[in-house]
Amino acid sequence: MKNVNKLLGIGFLSLTMLACTTNPITGRKSLQIANDQEISAMALQQYRETLSKSKVISGTSAANSVKNVGARIKNAANNYYRSIGRADDMNNYQWEFNLIDDKQVNAWCMPGGKVAVYTGILPITKNDTGLAVVMGHEISHALAGHGNERISQAMAAQYGGAILGGVTSGQMATIFQQVYPIGAQVALLKYGRAQELEADEMGLYLMAMAGYDPRQAQPFWERMEASSAGNRPPEFLSTHPSPESRRSDIQKRLPKALEYYKAAGGKI
């Protein structure tokens, strides 16, 4: 039995090495061994269920802004991945951008590109550029495969070397529901600090590539922090880095973001 466990451990280590994914924008490596198509299918079902239980706003200027900003960031990502010869990476994304009437200060993006923005965050975004900060961040969670990473971590924790024998659809569905709660609870999505920092960095670059001034990221996060002064922080910030850490990180990434912004036609 000891030898079998040792072989399983070696096999799992080899699998993790083979399944190590490198983010082409940030360079961060992560374990992603789950099936992206299966994850996207489950995300779509969850997204549909969430929308069916929510008041989705359409046709207003705010709803149109959500769709337009999302489309610009999506197109910028498509162009970037195409420019580095990785256009196929975008094949599993079927983007949707919806505004939900809800006072929560929140926004999220599920695997496969299913995005929701809550009206509660709009007074803080203020305009399309502020909205681009939020949506760039959330879209980056999907593009970076953070859902796959979290599911892969859960698979490894629950099944260990047994992953080599394959995880059943039922087991995968259970893990998915643990990572992405059903219905309205999907608003409580939580990522690790490393993933949040990566989404900050990647989102900053993507908004710049889409022609939105990345210098407006700092003011947005300052407004977000101010909105929670003296109260419980918005769910959107529950697992995010400290304000000081975020400010420092954004300042460090800003020169590169401004290069993307200038290339997109922005004025420096």
Residues that are catalytic: 138
Q: Which of 56, 48, 30, 208 is nearest to 119 (CA)?
A: 56
DSSP class per residue in 51-71: HHTS-EE-SSHHHHHHHHHHH
Helix axes 61-83, 128-143, angle to 10 degrees: 50
180: which DSSP letter?
S
**CA torsion angle for 218, 143, 23, 83 (degrees, to 10)?**
-100
Beta-ladder partners of 58: none
Number of helices (H) and strands (E) in the chain: give both, helices first.
Answer: 10, 6
Residue 118 in 3-state DSSP? strand
